[in-house]
Structure 1
Amino acid sequence: MSGEASTTRKAVAAAQRIVVKVGSSSLTTASGGLDQDRLDALVDTVSRRVVDGGQVVLVSSGAIAAGIAPLGLRRRPRDLASQQAAASVGQQALAHAYAESFSRHDLIVGQVLLTADDVVRRGHYRNAQRTLDRLLGLGAVPVVNENDTVATHEIRFGDNDRLAALVSHLVGADALVLLSDVDALYDGDPRRGGASAIREVNGEEDMVGVRAGSAGASGLGTGGMASKVEAARVACTSGIPVLLTSAALADRALGPADVGTAFAATGSRLSARRFWLAHAAGASGRLWLDDGAVTAVVRRRRSLLAAGITAVEGAFDGGDVVELVAPSGEVVARGVVAYDAGELPQLIGRSSHELPPEQRREVVHADDLVPLR
């Protein structure tokens, strides 16, 4: 790239605390097993950033892929039990490889394995936050991965791109760098020709017409470009700029940041609680709203009252997180509901003055509500 760097790229280049996510295909061979040369090259780049005074959290895929060859498997397993077995073997190999590689630079590695439960549950979220912050304060390099050995389909992040976006907010990162096997975001499939790289994304308007694909050709990962774009959206709407490029260009990504696609931060920093509500907590149900309630909740930041609800979905208790849905079907907000699911059908559509005094409280209070648009 040429010309003056964008504000986003300058922010990534100057970031004091940065989260770097690397995918399986960038660390392993096609047949499984770690590619030590690629891993060492990444560690060299990260280490330079740390030695220069920065703090780096490395979110690394590769545990399942690293366990394929040692277990004699021909390809990435599809069943959960085999994935967990491969992760058990591969996680050990991955942690050892990182510890040995970083030791060449006299740096200590701290392994942090997370499940979705660790960010969905507020208590776990705070514990993970404190642990990561302390590791960074002690000069260590936290290496984070999903705990595939114990995670189930119901409590998985789904891919480490989403995990990286959540960790970025968890540690108060100044930037997020997503490394994969593709050098940038393209407006089409770059393997088919005719696609153009998108260098700057300053808002949703820059994504119109872009079709992001799923998992890559190697078959070793679970993410793909679609998950990276969604991770970038989560980070950017929470005030964190993002740079997306290939692991082969990590040196420049963590240097002048003049490669790949830069996603500008489009939102303000959320408090830990509001970020948890918007992106980390699992939703137990849905409340469908009329147009008036959507306007009140999204534009006016008002509490949700029973009068604006048209339908209730799911089985939830008071204190659970629910999604608030517009008539079009779009999820426009998330919040902590004050009623059990069984209590609401008799209240919905009714004005406060029509209800008994004990039922006139807000269904979702404004302080427990986060608009998503």
Structure 2
Amino acid sequence: MAATTSDVGGSGSSARQAISTARRVVVKIGSSALTSLAGGLDTGRLDLLADAIEERMRAGSDVVVVSSGAIGAGIAPLGLTKRPTDLATKQAAASVGQLALAHAWGTSFGRYQRTVGQVLLSPDDFARRAHHRNAQRTLDRLRSLGAVAVVNENDTVATAEIRFGDNDRLAALVAHLVGADALVLLSDVDGLYDGDPRKGGAAFIPEVRTSEDLDGVIAGTGGVLGTGGMASKLAAARLAADAGVPVLLAAASDAAAALGEGTVGTAFAARPERLSARKFWVRHAADARGSVRLDSGAVRAVSQRRSSLLAAGITATEGRFYGGDVIALTGPDGTVVARGIVAYDSTELDGMLGRSTGELAAELQRPVVHADDLVRL
């Protein structure tokens, strides 16, 4: 069973205090909190969520909304009876639902004379540095103009099933992108349990301070309308916490309390030091274009001594990559031990494998991956 203490659920815990006083907050809302199979968008529930977000903004916080629900909102208008499973129908439902979702958010926040801006993002917007900066500038400008940014994955052109994991991972990436002080994940579950609470006997976990608090936790996958489930939410919470952003996982029905004093749900403490934007991008956002396999000595050098990777410690390359790409560094058994920005093309590197720096031409003597561009996993 996961470790807990008797007082971590209270408002006095440091993680909860950080969340309740955060100046910039990302709020992710799951599909099940906004839609139903029978009626599509539930504007009543959406209004209650907008009320809670408005209250937080009036208290002085900047809020970015990451909203799921596009596919769910398109099911009823298209006459479908269940969530589609084929890609073309998912994209069709998203194209219909995206309009309805944006309009509903605009109408709801319009009650407070607030303007809503829709921002559709794809994994490529985080994997490519130029796209990453453009998205950051757009979100920052919307905030400075007083508009509420409502972010969603661009499902209408996605080539795989909600690659961000029902927007949970997207929300964690957005939290780092905008320099958020807290991430609040709202869905149909009231927090983290060490098992499935629907089966009985599961213990509620009010706060996660370290990875040891997750020992024995069994997280399930998504439900009827969503695709993420607890496993996706847990992964997103750990990703954000790793980036220095505390996280609160709570039920959408408790949105007012979650965005108020934060006394509900499960709080995830952030790591003491936030990763730099560059290292966060290398570790979490960028796609690895290939990999290099290291011998045991090189694994120790990059993992324990935090040294740069030299050609002498590389035994093989996999995939086609170019200088400036992010690659994975694997040990002799294939386990990924780090990621980093490579200095050479794969074809160039193939002729350098296993050779000491002194054996290489002067222009090839710089590290394959410099320590400043390397993130250990």
TM-score normalised per structure 2: 0.94
Which residue of structure 1 aligns with residue 106 of structure 2? 99
8 Å contact 1:31–1:75 — kept in the other structure?
A: no
Which residue of structure 1 aligns with residue 287 of structure 2? 282
Q: Secondary structure at the match of 1:153?
A: coil
Write out aligned runs for 1:1-373 (5 A).
3=10, 5-31=12-38, 33-153=40-160, 156-216=163-223, 219-372=224-377
Letter in 1 for 2:86: D
Letter in 2 for 1:316: F
Of the structure 1 ranges 66-75 and 333-342, higher mean CA displacement relative to structure 2 is found in 333-342
CA distance in 2, matches of 1:4, 1:365: 43
Letter in 2 for 1:257: G
1:255-283 CA deviation, whole Å, 9 max, x = no partner? Answer: 11111111000252222222111111111
Letter in 2 for 1:39: L
- Length, aligned pairs only: 370
Change (3 A) 1:32 1:294: farther
CA distance in 2, matches of 1:183, 1:154: 25
Change (3 A) 1:118 1:313: same
Of the structure 1 ranges 178-187 and 350-359, higher mean CA displacement relative to structure 2 is found in 350-359
Change (3 A) 1:236 1:188: same
| Structure 1 residue 4, shift from structure 2 partner | 5.3
Change (3 A) 1:312 1:50: same
Q: Which runs of 5+ in 1 are unaligned?
A: none
| Structure 1 residue 350, shift from structure 2 partner | 2.4
CA distance in 2, matches of 1:121, 1:345: 25
Q: Secondary structure at the match of 1:273?
A: helix
1:128-158 CA deviation, whole Å, 9 max, x = no partner? Answer: 1011111111221110000111222299434
Q: Which runs of 5+ in 2 are unaligned?
A: 1-6
1:224-268 CA deviation, whole Å, 9 max, x = no partner? Answer: 111111111111111100010111111111011111111000252
Letter in 2 for 1:371: R
Q: Secondary structure at the match of 1:142?
A: strand
8 Å contact 1:33–1:67 — kept in the other structure?
A: yes
8 Å contact 2:328–2:336 — kept in the other structure?
A: yes
Change (3 A) 1:250 1:154: closer
CA distance in 1, matches of 2:217, 2:281: 28
CA distance in 2, matches of 1:124, 1:148: 17
CA distance in 2, matches of 1:168, 1:299: 30
8 Å contact 1:66–1:91 — kept in the other structure?
A: yes
Change (3 A) 1:164 1:237: same
Change (3 A) 1:3 1:156: closer
Of the structure 1 ranges 200-209 and 268-277, higher mean CA displacement relative to structure 2 is found in 268-277
Q: CA RMSD in A?
A: 1.7
| Structure 1 residue 334, shift from structure 2 partner | 1.1
Structure 1's consecutive aligned runs of 4 or more residues displaced over 3 angstroms after TM superposition are 1-4, 327-330
CA distance in 1, matches of 2:350, 2:225: 47
CA distance in 1, matches of 2:65, 2:279: 24
8 Å contact 2:30–2:166 — kept in the other structure?
A: no
Letter in 1 for 2:242: T
| Structure 1 residue 333, shift from structure 2 partner | 1.6
Change (3 A) 1:158 1:32: farther
Of the structure 1 ranges 361-370 and 90-99, higher mean CA displacement relative to structure 2 is found in 361-370
| Structure 1 residue 328, shift from structure 2 partner | 4.7
Q: Secondary structure at the match of 2:216?
A: coil
CA distance in 1, matches of 2:145, 2:168: 26
